[in-house]
Amino acid sequence: MKPLVRRGRPRQHTASCGLRAALPPLMAAAISSSSAAAHRLFCSPPPSVRPSGPSSPLFLSFLLKASLKPRSSLRHRSLPPLSASYADDVFAFDDKPREECGVFGIIGDPDAARICYLGLHALQHRGQEGAGIVSSDGTALHSRTGLGLVSKVFSRSSELEPLVGSAAIGHNRYSTAGAASALANVQPFVAGYRFGQLAVAHNGNLVNYDSLRCELESKGSVFNTSSDTEVILHLIATSSSGPLLARIVEALEELEGAYSLVFLTADKLFAARDPHGFRPLVMGRRSNGAVAFASETCALGLVGAEYVREVNPGEVIVVDSHDMSINTSCLLSKKPRKCCVFEHVYFALPNSVVFGHPVHAARYNFGAALARESPAPGADIVIPVPDSGFFAALGFAEASGLPFRQGLIRSHYVGRSFIEPNQEERNLAVKLKLAPIDGILEGKSVVVIDDSIVRGTTSSKIVQLIKNTGKAREVHMRIASPPIVGSCYYGVDTPRAEELISNRLDVEGVRQALGSDSLAFLSLESLKAAFGDEACKFCDACFTRKYPVPPREHEIFNMVDK
Ligand SMILES: O=P(O)(O)OC[C@H]1O[C@H](OP(=O)(O)OP(=O)(O)O)[C@H](O)[C@@H]1O
Ligand SMILES: NC(=O)CC[C@H](N)C(=O)O
Ligand code: SF4
Ligand SMILES: [Mg+2]
């Protein structure tokens, strides 16, 4: 039986080469607050693109993608047999929760592509496999996409020059569906359909992608990529509704799972978020009146846009370039809000405000709660695992009254998801990325704070480094989130459940595998308590296996693949 889902990916090495591209001068940051036009439903498309009837032939062609990926190339990986040796097991694959995609959009700015480029830089931590920008000059779309970091895809400022116009959308990819190495899967996608051109950039993952694609293919749709995102364009193209906003709403009603989206046409920018609101998406405004959308507020800050508000779960916003009017519409389906708590644990940058909560403060609170729940009596110092363990360690240190010390340094030349294809190279990679400072660690009892343990790769290497190289006396691991026991199906590419160390071992078993003197995780209650009354608005399925949207196609796959 054909595998139905793509969990995991071919290994990929994305060496960071730094942010070398010349940055344009940033515009003034002072922004007058949005005086957006009253919300109203979007008007009909211009007569030239009005649908001629439900039986009109549809023509959907991807204009700018070179290589076609057959369906059989959809990512799929067989698991290695679990070996008796933990070391063999844990290093057999280096899957861990890695960055998700970042999306950015701007309209009403003469420098749209350049602003978009800066926005993508700010969101680089969310995806490092590929990047792209599509701009609109008012009549046509212009695109550039490529594999690798933003600085590689746009390594010379001349590469932005063809991206003319006052509106643009951009994307940083970390794949959840569709081969990571295929240029065709790098977004934004651009499609030509009977009403003109339409581009899309997507953060999230669709759990009913396979059935939607099968249905569309059975009706004659021809796919050019192996990405789940492409079904959205086909659904819009084949919608029976008239105005584009209505077509988008109708298409989104078909989707299950996670999506934060930006769409671009010749004269409009759309932003949309799934009814659960799994992935973040915010709106901002520059002082020149340009409207921007971004996965995280850190991107708004970099481009000098003032935060206006979140795109609400289930909301579709459209900004018209002619008068910069802003109109919104809501999806019919109302669902409980289920924002990804892992954005706060690991993904988002600490200078972002995500789902209305500052990330640095959430992490600090996780660490402080961890210190109260699981102190480390007799310890001398607290050290963070850079980078995402930093604020939790600060919270732990201050709550416990222990000195905070930087006992590990991190190379800036090794990316967040540095992957090497075999065991030796992975060991070397961790050594390259993290190095102990002997003078700080020697003879000490050390509390090491990291944000999460997925496969245990990082923690086990860190314990070895601190004990053997740094010559610490004791190493106490404290993790500022609960044990991860379930895979994510909503845009975070965690490994399959069998590969998650806490799914196979209890806390004591994990401790032994890591070789630390003690180990404790933050409780789910304390994690949620950091959000007060809003705790119920968060998805925590990777800690609880309580999936807000059943991952039905994935489970079928898991059953038939064993
Ligand atoms: O148990 P594992 O499978 O090793 O995965 C967990 C580790 O992965 C992440 O770090 P990463 O190096 O990706 O990013 P960071 O530098 O931002 O912390 C996370 O912060 C943990 O350190
Ligand atoms: N991480 C993401 O948001 C991925 C977006 C999309 N599902 C892709 O695989 O390209
Ligand atoms: S399962 Fe975990 S990573 Fe996925 S959306 Fe829910 S909280 Fe986030
Ligand atoms: Mg880390």
Quick check: 293 and 239 in contact, CB under 8 A?
A: no
Question: 105-156 pLDDT, tens per residue?
Answer: 999 999 999 999 999 999 999 988 899 999 999 999 999 999 999 999 999 9
pLDDT for position 413: 79
Amino acid 331: pLDDT: 85
Give the number of the atom of ligand 3 that is nearest the alpha carbon of residue 343.
Answer: 8
User: What 3 state SS string does 290-356 have?
Assistant: CEEEECCHHHHHHCCEEEEEECCCCEEEEEECCCCCEEEEECCCCCCCCEECHHHHHHCCCCCEECC
Beta bridge partners of 358: 353
**Amino acid identity for residue 93 in this structure:** F
CATH topology of domain 358-561: Rossmann fold (3.40.50)
pLDDT at 332: 78
**What's the pLDDT at 61?**
33
Single out the catalytic residue among 17, 43, 101, 339. Answer: 101
Ligand 1: does its nearest atom lie under 6 Å from the Cβ of 350? no
User: What's the gap in Å between 374 CA and the centre of ligand 3?
Assistant: 24
Grade residue 224 by pLDDT with cuts at 50, 70 and 90: very high
Q: Residue 5 CA to chain centroid, in angstroms?
A: 19
Q: Is the pLDDT of residue 530 over 60?
A: yes
Look at residue 415 in the predicted model and tell me its pLDDT: 62
At 424 the pLDDT is 61
Helix axes 209-218, 230-237, angle to 10 degrees: 40
Tens of pLDDT, residue by residue over 423-442, are 565 566 677 888 999 999 99
511-528 pLDDT, tens per residue?
999 999 999 999 999 999
Sign of CA dihedral 536, 542, 545, 547: positive
Binding residue positions for Mg(2+): 388, 450-451
DSSP SS3 for 15: coil
The span from the CA of 463 to the CA of 461, in Å, is 6
Bridge partners for 384 per DSSP? 449
Using CB atoms within 10 Å of the CB of residue 425, give its burial: 0 to 12 exposed, 13 to 18 middle, 19+ buried.
middle
Contacts of 375 (CB under 8 A, 6+ apart): 400
Paired sense of beta strands 518-521 and 305-310, if any: unpaired
* Residue 262, SS3 per DSSP: strand
Closest to 281 (Cα-Cα) out of 263, 294, 264, 299: 294
> Does any ligand 3 atom lie closer than 6 A to the CB of residue 354?
no
d(CA 488, CA 541): 7
Could you report the predicted ipTM of this complex, rounded to two decimals? Answer: 0.97
Atom of ligand 2 nearest to the CA of 258: 3
Q: Which ligand is nearest to the CA of 189?
A: 2
Structure tokens belonging to residue 200: 């899309």
Percentage of the chain lying above the pLDDT 90 cut:
68
How does residue 402 score in pLDDT terms, banded at 50, 70 and 90?
very high
135: closest CA among 112, 155, 158, 152? Answer: 112
Task: Looking at the CA of 205, name the nearest ligand.
Answer: 2
- Residue 348 Cα to ligand 3 midpoint, Å, equals 13
Residues of the binding site: 340, 388, 450-451, 488, 539, 542
* Ligand nearest the Cα atom of residue 524: 3
Q: Is the CB of 188 under 6 A from ligand 2?
A: no
Retrieve residue 294's tokens. 């971004």
Reading the block at residue 167, the tokens are: 């509106």
Tell whether pTM > 0.95. Answer: no
The answer to whether domain 103-335 has CATH 3.40.50.280 is no
Residue 13, phi then psi, degrees to nearest 5: -110, 115
pLDDT at 222: 95
Tokens standing for 351?
């200078």
345 versus 433: which is more confidently predicted? 345
Residue to probe by mutation, ligand 1, list 454, 484, 494, most atoms within 8 Å of CB: 454
The domain segmentation of the chain, as residue ranges, is: 103-335, 358-561
Dihedral angle computed from the Cα positions of residues 408, 414, 418 and 424, in that order, rounded to the nearest 10 degrees: -70
Residue 292's closest CA among 267, 328, 317, 258? Answer: 317
Q: Which atom of ligand 3 is nearest to the CA of 538?
A: 7
In tens, the pLDDT along 45-58 reads 332 322 233 233 23
Cα 257 to ligand 1 centre (Å) = 25
pLDDT of 499 reads 84
**Residue 37 pLDDT level (bands cut at 50, 70, 90):** very low
Question: What are the tens digits of pLDDT across the range 351-393?
Answer: 999 999 999 999 999 999 999 999 999 999 999 999 899 999 9
Q: How many other CB atoms are found less than 10 A from the CB of residue 403? A: 13
Alpha-carbon span 347 to 341, nearest angstrom = 9
**Residues contributing to the annotated binding site for [4Fe-4S] cluster:** 340, 488, 539, 542
Annotated catalytic residue 101: yes
Average pLDDT, the chain: 82
What is residue 269's three-state secondary structure? Answer: strand
Q: Measuring from atom 4 of ligand 3, which residue has the nearest CA?
A: 488
Ligand 1 neighbourhood includes 452 CB (under 6 angstroms): yes
Question: Within 10 A of 561 (CB to CB), how many other CB atoms are there?
Answer: 16
Structure confidence by residue, pLDDT tens digits, 163-174: 999 999 999 998
